[in-house]
Structure formats: C-alpha cells, structure tokens
Structure 1
Amino acid sequence: MNAMAKGSALSRFESAKQRFFSQVLIAMKMPTVVRSIEEELAAGHVAVVQLTSTAEAILERRLAGLSPDERANLAIDVSPLDTLIDYLKTAFPTRQMRAFRSSDGALRSEPMHDGDGNAVLCQEAVEARDNLVESLCSMPPVPAALDFLIAHFGTDAVAEVTGRSRRVVIDGQGRQKLERRSASSNIAETDAFMSGRKPILVFSEAGGTGRSYHADLDCPTANKRRIHFLLEPGWRADIAIQGLGRTHRTYQWKPPVFRPVTTTCKGERRFISTIARRLDTLGALARGQRQTGGQNLFDPADNLESSYAREALTQWYHLLHAGKLASIGLEKFQIITGLKLVDENGTLLDKLPPIQRWLNRILALRIATQDAIFEEYMGLIQARVDAAREAGTLDLGVEAIRAERIVELSQQVLREDPVSGAETRLLRLELHLKPRVTGWARLDKIWGGSADGRSLRNSRSGRVALCVPSWSITDDDGRPVKMMELVRPTGSNRIQLAGLAHTHWEEIDRKSFQSFWEAEVTEALDKVDIETISVATGLLLPVWNKLPQDDVRVWRIDDAAGTSILGRIVMPGAIEKLQSAFGLTSSIMLTPGELIEAARHGDGALIPGLHGARLVSAMVNDSRRIEIRDFRPQDREWLKARGAFSEVIAYKTRLFLPAGKADEILSTIIAEPPQ
C-alpha cells in the first residue's frame, strides 16, 4: 500500500520484461539471419553482424553457481530466460505484509517480522514463485544471438570482436568447454576477418570503437563486399552509427550493403522508435542534416516519440474511452496493462500515461492484440505525417534537389550579423532539372511479382500508373482507411482506395501498359524542366522566426558543376512579406506563373507595373477565380482591353482573368504596364 515501494517494484518488473522481450525478438530473427548469411557467403560476399548484447553477464552468473564437478562437465544453455528466472528469484514479492494506519490516517503496509526479528514469508507467494520458476526452467532455452551464430557456423568461420573475457564453445568431440579470451583476442579476430581466414565477423559495442572492417584496398578481402546486418542497434544512436561506420570508410574498394533486421512483430517498433529518435537527434547535432544521422533507414512515422506520435496517442486514448476501437476495450486494456486511464466516475484523466510508459506496457500483450493496437495507432500517426508532408511542414531535416544546372538570377542581402558579419541572403535561382525516371525493367523487378498491382491509365491525361497497396491511415473516428500508391514513371502519390473509383483512372492490359510506360520514360529522359525559385540562405537561425512558417523544410540544392546551396525555399506569395519583415523594398519580379501560384496558394502578390494592384484568388458563385484587386479606376478599361473581364458584385466593379488565359494576359501586362 506504499506508492513509492509499489512504483519501484513495478519499475523493476518493466525493466526486466523489456530486456527479456528485446532478446526474444532477436532470437526470433536468428534463423532468417543465418539463412541470409549463408546466401551472402555463397555469393562471394562476407558478413558483418552488429549487436549490443553478448549475454556475458548471464554466463558469469551461471558459472558462479556451478560446482567443481559441473564446471568439469559443462552442460549449460545461456538464454534470456535466465533474466526472467533471476528476476523472480530476487524480486518476486514473497514477504508477508502488515496493514496499519499512519499518523495522517492513511492505510499503509509494512513487512512483517516474527518474535525473533526474522522476515515472515507468505507461503502462498513462495509456492507461486517456485512453480513459476520450475515452469520456466522446463521450457526450451531461447538462444542468445552471439552464441547461436558461433554454434551454427563454428569458431573457424566466425570472428568475434566483443568485450567478453570468456565464452562457451563446442570442441571436436561435441562437448562444451570454457574458452578464455585475452585482451589481444579482438586484434587477432579482426585480422582473421580482414585477411579472409574467417568470412563472418560479429562485433558488439566494445568492438565498434577504433576498428575498421571495410573493404580496405590494402587488405586481401578488398574485393569482397561487406553485408552489414544491423541485428541489434541498441539504445544509443551514436554507438549504432559508429558501428555502421566500421564497414563504410574512405579508401575502400566497395561500399557495404546495410541490412537492418527486424521481425514482423509490431511491438518491435518500440525498439526501432528509440534508435530512430536518437538517430534524428544525432544527425541534427552532428551535421545539421537529419539524414546524416538516420542514413535514410527510418521514416518519420517510425519515430514513436515525436510530436505526431504524442498527438496520435492522445487521440487513441479518447477513441478507446469512446469505445470506437476494434482492437481492445477500455476495461480490458486497463486490466492487462495496469495503466489507469479513468477516474472513479469513468471520466478520462487529465494526465494520461506518457507514450514511453504506454509503449512499454504494450510489450506485455499477446502478439495478435499488440499488432491490432499498433495497426490503429500507426494509422493515426501516418495520417498526421501525410498531412504534414502535403502541407510542407514535415520536419525531415535537409532535403535535396539535384539540378543539371543552377543559374543565379539575382540576390539580395536580408541581414548582416553585427558580430560575425555573416549574411542572410535571398537568392533568385533558375534550376535546370531532369526528372528522376523509373524504367520498365526496374518497375518490373520491384512490382512484377505482386499480384495486387493494377495497371491503370488516366483517360483524361493519357498518363499511366501502377496502383499498389500502401499503408493505411486511421481517421478521427478510429476507422481504418485503406490507401493505395500510384507509381508513375517520374514519381508517385498516395490516394484513398474509396476515392480511386471517382477518378479518371481506368485499368488496361499489361502489354499496353508497358508500351505507354516506356513511351513516357523516353519522353521524360529527353525533357529538361526549367524552374525559378527563391531561396533564403546564409545565416538562418537568428532570423528563423521571420521566415515563412508555411514550409519549414531546409533544402540542399546542388548541380553537376559542384555548386551547393543550403537554405529555405520561399514561396512566391511569401516573398513580399519576407522583404517587408526585413524593411526592404521588393526587388524580385515574379513570373506570370509564380503570380498565379501565389494567388492560388497564398495571400496574393503585387502585379508589377500596376501601381499597387494585387492578384488574388477569390470564390465567386461557388467557383474559384483569379481576381485583380486594388487597381486604379483609370486602368479598368486598359485591363479589359488586355483580356480581363469585369462583373458588378454587391455594388462594386471587380476584375477577373479568364482561367485559361491568365498566364498570357499577365505576360502582356508585365511587358507593357499602363502609364
């Protein structure tokens, strides 16, 4: 009945459970990892396995409890089950408690003692603990990853670079023996791998510092590609990235292939999310570029501790309380997780369990229930990530634009730092872009074997797309929304399955689809798009709050000539406000296309030469129009002569541009403005 003692006991339980569950997941991967390693060795490659746990602590505890005779005839299985058994032996509550009222009248409890001061044990609890230990000890051992690899491939094939000082190996007679590893063992094992005597290397955190396992041009195995299995990333992003860097360094003949290993158990998202979050932080701090940390291994939806994830969890709690989730009910969830979500009146608590606690408790659930909960929860996160990506507010660190050529049209200094003299500049750039094209051979390699793919052609545009299933999202009422991805020769986009029937996409036969696809690829390869953009670059952090907040992405723009520009793209409709925020007059003349873009997706833009007139988007009679506002009365007839048309609405004459000719009319107005 003591809250602090109960919390401490619960914390220890959750810690032991999480360590055990992590090791079980790793053990589940081992058969697949072994098969993959065998395939890579047969292909002439070498394998590198990165892990964190070596089970050395479990081995030492097991050895400490052996008699001399048992040491002479070893027969032990080092298993993560030992973690649970040790926990039960040391932390299972067996003390008999006595209830009493404290001075403040609250009911509390304390351990009981007999007349001699000895602890009184609850025999029922002792029996329950002993039965549970006996049950666990009768189960087959869960193999530890490192020992599993060594037992399968043998010490002649596996080079171990870890911090273990002892290990159990199998001798020539098939008996276990204890082998000591000296301080120089890691040096010898590294040399055995790099020289080619051992085709497999397994290293832990202790082996990921100060050593290189890459295809060094001076080593005998330089021509063998390293296949790097990220089996267990651990809890520290810097250590995980340091481990990845052991096989990918300068002066190498071939770069490695990184293969993160995961199970289909959605609970493993807990461990992936931790490393993803810390990889994000590491990349942001180390290089100012998010992909540097994550190596593009993780999607924003994988980070279950982001603001999107926290918002989604709050909504998940409310949907659970409202009974709108199909995965589980409120009462059952509280019972099997031990989380309190409602008060005595059944009202949802103001302070709900944080996401870390919620995630840890999910790990105790059955796999089917766990998967169902994660399916709904990940759908809520994905809906937020998709919305943020479409709005341009998804913080992805630094995104890249690769241009064939960059032409600087103009630049304007927005601010000069009074201390360092560093400048914040607004650049006007002309980008010559070649679209990224997916050829038919690659499309067929990726999706050719998929029975779910549908070959579509748009009856209006004539373009083709391969429609394949994509991850679902969850709507505000907790219902799953099936999504599809339209894969095109020059890109892709996601669409709701229900909305696909209301579009102009029609299914065609595969032969015609291939013909249309290859024609679009040929057309795209010969095409160079010219795009004009404005970029705020230079010293951005001190003026970040003055930059437009509708798109917070940072872009790296480079070309074949080696030009590289890092900055924020400023949309046409925001240029005027940006310059005004810095007390500058407008010096950038937008193109007709940019003026229309600014009108449709912003607050409008000044029309050059029209003495303060603005181009805006307006809703008139339930239709969207491009309108010229704040024009001078004497310019009305002149504008109508150039193609604008007028309407009197609510006793006010308004001017509009025809939708199909707006670009052409604006070009004429800008070229020869009225006096």
Structure 2
Amino acid sequence: MKKQIKELTCRALHNAVAAYYVLDYLAHSFPVQLYEPFTAEGNLSSRPVFRDGQPVESREAVARRNELIERLASLPPVPGALDQIVQRFGTDLVAEVTGRSRRLVRWGDRLAVENRAASANLAETAAFMDDLKRVLVFSEAGGTGRSYHAELSARNRRLRVHYLLEPGWKADAAIQGLGRTNRTNQAQPPLFRPIATDVKAEKRFLSTIARRLDTLGAITRGQRQTGGQGLFRPEDNLESHYARDALRQLYLLLVRGKIEGCSLQIFEDATGLKLMDANGIKDELPPITTFLNRLLALTIDLQGVLFTAFEQLLNAKVEGAIASGVYDVGLETLQAESFVVTDRRPIYTHPATRAETRLLTVTERRRNRPVTLDQARDYLADARAVLLLNERSGRAAVQLPAPSLMLDDGEIERRVRLIRPMEHHHASMKMMDESHWQPADRETFAAAWNGEVVDVPEFADSILHIVAGLLLPIWKRLPNDSTRVYRLQTDEGERIIGRRVSPAWAANACANGASSLTPQEAFSALMEGRTVLDLAEDLQLRRVRVMGTHRIELSGFTDAMRDRLRAYGLFSEIISWKLRMFVPSDATGAAVLAKVLDHYPVVRIGEREAA
C-alpha cells in the first residue's frame, strides 16, 4: 500500500514539476534556429538564417528537440523522499506528521486520493509514541510544539535513530527539529544520522548548516559543541580555516599538475576560476565559498576528482590538529567512572577581588573496555581484513584498509588501520613493510589476543591537572599549545571548569619545582607526549614513535652508562644502525623510571611543542 502511495504522489509530482519546468524549458529554450556558414576576411564563421525577416528553423534541430521531449516525458517518475518511505514501509508502520492535507494511497490494486483531517497529526503522533507505528516522518510543520523522544512515560521507549534528510538553510529551525527527539526525561538519547548522496558537491549544503549550527551554538550557549548537537564532524564544516588552508594547498597542487584526472586547464575551463596571472599563481585566489558554489555546476565525475582531493587535504589538516591537541572543539565534557580531587593549590590571587586561580590535581578512573575476540573476528566480514601477529612482541592486531593521506607535495600515502585490544591507530604501508607484523592463522591470533585481553585491568587510573577559577589574568601564562576548556563533575558533586595543563607545567607552577614530580607522574607525563625531562649528565627522556607504537626513549647516554641502564630495566634496539634505549611502556615502566631518576635527578621539566 505504501509503495502505491509513493508512486502516485511521485507521478503527480513528476508531471507537475518535471513536465512543467523541464519540458517547458526544452520547448522554449532548445536551439532550433538554422545557421549558415560564411567567410569574412578569410575566416570561416556562421550566422543565423532569416527569410522575409523571420528566423528559419532547422528541421534536424526541431526533430532532436521533439525526440528529447518525448524521451523525457516517457521516463518513469522519480518518487519524493516522503512518498518513498511511506510506500516502502506502509501506512500501518509509518506515522506522518506533515502539513499535507491529501496524499495518494493504494487500496488493493487501485490508487486513490486520501484526505487527511486536521487532527491526523495528533493521531499519528499518538500512534508512534504508543508503539503502534515504528517509523515517524515529520517535516517543519511537525517540528515545533511536539515531542518524539523516548519519554519514560511513553510505551515506545525504543532508541530513536533520527535521519536528517533535508536540514534546510535555517540553523534555528534545524535545532528545533533535532530537539524533538532529544529532550529531558528520556530513556536514552537518539542517534543523529545526516543523509547525503554520493554526489560530492551535495556536502556543500551539509557544510552550510553545520557552520550555522556551530555559530548559533557559540552565540546562544557559549560553546560550539552544544550548537551542533554533536551531529557534524570537523570535516563537515567546509568553511573553517582548516578548509581554507586545504583549498589553497589544492590550488597549488593544481598549478603543479599533481591532481590526477584534472589539469589546471580543465579546472579553469570547467569552473571559470583563474589561478594564474602574468606573474605566476595569484596572490588573491578564489575563496572557499566560490569554489564550493562552482563545484555544483561540474559533472559528477569531475566533482568526484576535485572533492576527493580536497577532502583528503582537509582530513589531513584536521587529523593533524587533533593529534597535536590544537583543534578547538569548544567546551568539552570529560566523562569517566570517577573523578576525585586529590590536591588544590592556589597559584594566583587577584589583588582587588581576592579571587583565586587554583591548580587542581584530579585522579580519573576509567573503565577499560577492551575489544573482545568475537568483536575482533567480526572485522573479518571485510574481505580485506588481515589477522596479524608481531614476531618480536607477540602482540595481535587486525589490519583494515584506511583512507589514504595526501601529503603536502601531492603524493598519496597508502595507509592501514590496526585494531588492537585497547587501541587503534593508522600506519603507512611503508611502515608496515618495515615492521615485524606478519599474517597469522586464527588459532595463533586467538591465543595472543585473549592473552592480552586477560591482562587488561578492569579500571585504569590517570592524573589530570586542571587550572580552574579565575583564568583571564593568567591566560597568557597557560600553555599555548592547546586552548581547550574542559568541564567535569567529581564524585562529591563539585563541578569544575578550566584549562587542562601538562604535569610539567603543573610541576613548574608549584614552589617545589621539579622535585614535585613523582616517578609515576613523570611516567604518565612522558607517555602523554607533551613533556620532556632533562636529567643530570645531559640525559633526556621523551616520547617517540617507533614502528607505529609510542615509547619513552632515553637519549644522551655514553658507552659507560649502557650496562647500568640495562640493569635498571631499560632495553635497547639498533634502529638504522644506531643504538637506542627505551623505558618499558608496560606496568613496569614507572618502577624502571624511578631507578633512573634516583641516579640521574631531573634538572629541568620542559614541554614539547605541538606537532
């Protein structure tokens, strides 16, 4: 029955819209005037033919126009989204809350027009909330003054999966619609799913609503995260400064001929945008909004080529910013099993108001949720998945394909994704070829994987250092590598909002200086990657990445120190014909580090610059 509704509505829509607009456009705008060739000053040209002052039509062009009109008129109608949903699932399953007063339905083998009463929307809403209908479709007419969330008092407390089909251009209206399924007193929050086709330029519209939602959230709530409802990813905003940087890099690659499938000439001819002048590449290149608008006029294939290259560059910019901790996500809420404030120290007091800036030491406890063996095996549903075992460490991993990365010089870096029990990361194919990862059979893989899962503790504790209270007077004294603002709630109910700082900054901010950093805190700070410890006798500890994994490396040692350092528990490897020494990254690392710091005290605590 639902299919018939959709077909009828779609046919009516097709005939009314497609016939009226497309066919009428062809009838009046298709070029049918006859032209004749002529020669002027040795140049062959053409001109329109007139007879008795009237233009002469080309019989061939008229025949082609009529044939095209007949072909378009004979095409099957394209259903609208609403009618497709109603037709696919049926009116017995779909509750429709829209402004339509009439719709096409199928009764048996016939199509009929159904009149909808003014109270139809109330009845449809009640049917959905009472779990009589599983699917709800609502438009802007049903997007205000109603609630469709998993209310605790309703029969239907199922998880809502909210598909955002047509977000429109009004950010406040989009928030109204999103708020219908995400409200207080609900059993569970919904899952938001923006819908887009594989036509690349369509992301232009999602980008606009994402930017406006973020802007509206920053104005009304003081945080971009709340405005966008967590619906969009950083890459979805195509008008951010990351996107502008990626676009300029795309222009440079086009000029150098590094974009496969689109030369500079093809790009300029298709978009009408000029990147070069007499002096070379222009200083004022076309802005991001112009580029995105011109994409809409390109062929689907050319859209795919340009937008794919642009997306790869944008993803690389965003991933780099997130990895280095400089990506601004606004006010971010920290969540864990437990937060306990273990130390409070005032580090600044305002002379006039006596308001304090405090350095808080917070113990964070998170529940470890390792990937089980069954979950790891589920990845084998992808035919490209490979089970791996590290010959040196005995660790197991699942290798999956990952998006390639476009480097600054236009080269494509092929990458894979490694899934491990407690982590996952990306690695280049070149790095994998040089590593000790080898394919493994299922039995060997299962034994190694389960061995790692068993060793994972139920909880993991870590130390956070939060600067809270009065921040503006000392804002410039805080680390400039990350300006993120976090909020959390402790077990006692205390709400904390402030800037997170590294253990190195916290140690230097206290009166005791470097001695206030315990071996466990030093180990955690080094593994976090933002701290460098300078030790006595010109030794230095810092985090490095070797074969895709993070390690703590001790550099600056002499030949006479090797045996002593090995006795402390450090291990060595020869990498690129050079001996390097590392602190174990497992549970024994803090104890090994304590022995090193006992013999080689910390001279200075430094902070690594963001990559």
**1:204 aligned partner:** 139
User: AA paired with 1:85?
Assistant: V
Q: CA deviation at 1:326?
A: 0.1
Q: Would you say 1:509 and 2:441 are equivalent positions? A: yes
For residues 308 and 425 of structure 1, the distance between their equivalents in structure 2, rounded to whole angstroms, comes to 34
What is the match of residue 81 of structure 2? 145
Distance change in 2, residues 1:329/1:230 (3 Å)? same
Task: Output one character per residue of 1:619-675: Cα deviation in whole Å (capped at 9) or x when no partner.
Answer: xxxx97369xxxxxxxxxxxx9xx99xxxxxxxxxxxxx97676424246779xxxx
1:168-207 C-alpha deviation (Å, 9 max, x unpaired):
5556773454x66565443333234334554432111221
Number of residue pairs the alignment of both structures matches: 534
Give 3-state SS (helix, strand or coil) of 1:248's partner.
coil
Shift of the 662–193 alpha-carbon distance from structure 1 to 2, 3 Å rule, reads closer
2:264 counterpart (330, 354, 358): 330
Answering whether residue 372 of structure 2 is matched by residue 442 of structure 1, we say: no
**Equivalent in the alignment of 2:462:** 531
Q: Aligned residue for 2:255? A: 321
1:500 equivalent to 2:428? Answer no
2:454 partner letter: T
> CA, structure 1 residues 273+139, in 2 after alignment: closer, same or farther (shift >3 Å)?
same
Does 2:96 align with 1:163?
no
Matched, 1:625 2:555: yes
Corresponding position: 1:301 with 2:235 = yes
Q: CA deviation at 1:307?
A: 1.4
The 8 Å contact of residues 254 and 264 in structure 2, kept in 1 or not, is answered as yes
Which structure shows the bigger proportion of residues in strand conformation? 2
2:300 corresponds to 1:367: yes
- Tell me the TM-score normalised to structure 1 length: 0.67
Q: Deviation per CA, 1:51-107, whole angstroms, max 9, x where unpaired?
A: xxx9xxxx9xx9xxxxxxxxxxx955367647963995999799x9xxxxxxxxxxx
Contact in 2 for aligned 1:600/1:617 (Cα 8 Å): no
Q: 1:271 — aligned with what?
A: 205
What SS does the corresponding residue of 2:249 show, helix, strand or coil?
Answer: helix
**Residue 402 of structure 1: SS of its match in structure 2?**
coil
Aligned to 2:516: 589
Q: Is the 8 A contact 1:437 1:521 kept in 2?
A: yes
Picking from 452, 462, 466, the partner of 2:398 is 466
Q: Is the 8 A contact 2:389 2:438 kept in 1?
A: yes
Matches within 5 A, 1:27-426: 77=14, 81=18, 85=22, 88=25, 137=73, 139-155=75-91, 157-164=93-100, 167=103, 174-175=110-111, 177=113, 183-219=118-154, 221-222=155-156, 224-253=158-187, 255-288=189-222, 290-343=224-277, 345=278, 347-397=280-330, 398=332, 400-416=334-350, 423-426=356-359
Work out whether residues 538 and 556 of structure 2, in 8 Å CA contact, stay in contact via their aligned partners in 1.
Answer: no
Question: Conserved in 1, the CA contact under 8 Å of 2:164 and 2:192?
Answer: yes
What is the CA–CA distance in structure 2 between the aligned matches of 1:288 and 1:277, rounded to whole Å? 15
Q: Deviations over 1:147-181 (max 9, x none)?
A: 3334445555533222345555556773454x665
- Whole-Å separation in 2 of the counterparts to 1:88 and 1:417: 75
**Aligned-pair distance for 1:569?**
1.9
Instruction: Tell me if structure 1 keeps the 8 A contact 2:347–2:509.
Output: no
CA shift digits 1:420-467 (9 cap, x unpaired): x7643211233344433222223333x131221222223333322211
Structure 1 residues 293 and 472: CA distance shift in structure 2, 3 A: farther
What whole-Å deviation, never above 9, does each CA across 1:526-578 have from its counterpart, x for those lacking one? 4x444333211234456544321112333344566655533322123334676
Deviates more, 1:447-456 or 1:434-443: 434-443
CA distance in 2, matches of 1:670, 1:353: 56
Distance across 1 between alignment mates of 2:272 and 2:150: 51
Is the 1:486–1:493 Cα contact (8 Å) retained in structure 2?
A: yes
| Distance verdict in 2 for CA 1:313–1:133, change over 3 Å | farther
In the TM superposition, what is the alpha-carbon distance from 1:357 to its structure 2 partner?
A: 2.2
Letter in 2 for 1:532: I
CA distance 1:271–1:670, change in 2 (3 Å): same
1:625/1:532 CA distance change after superposition, 3 Å: same
Partner in structure 2 of residue 664 of structure 1? 595
Question: What is the Cα-based RMSD across aligned positions, in Å?
Answer: 4.5
Q: Which ranges of structure 2 fall in alignment gaps of 5 or more residues?
A: 34-53, 543-552, 558-563, 569-580, 584-591, 603-611
Q: Check the 8 A contact 2:487/2:498 in 1, yes or no.
A: yes
Q: Structure 1 residues 218, 274: CA separation in 2 closer, same or farther (over 3 Å shift)? A: same
Question: Which amino acid in the other structure matches residue 511 of structure 1?
Answer: E
1:425–1:537 CA contact under 8 A, matched in 2: yes
Query: In structure 1, what is the Cα distance between the partners aligned to 2:539 and 2:320?
Result: 28
- Look up the SS of the partner of 2:449 in the other structure: helix
Q: Deviation string for 1:494-551 (max 9, x for gaps)?
A: 111121111232222122111211221121134x444333211234456544321112
The answer to whether the 8 Å contact 2:363/2:463 transfers is yes
Give the distance between the partners of 1:91 and 1:285, measured in 2 at CA. 49
Distance 1:565 1:164 in 2: 49
Q: Does 1:565 align with 2:499?
A: no
Normalising to structure 2: TM-score of the pair?
Answer: 0.73
Distance 1:233-1:442 versus aligned 2 partners, 3 A rule: farther
Between the aligned residues of both structures, percent identity stands at 40
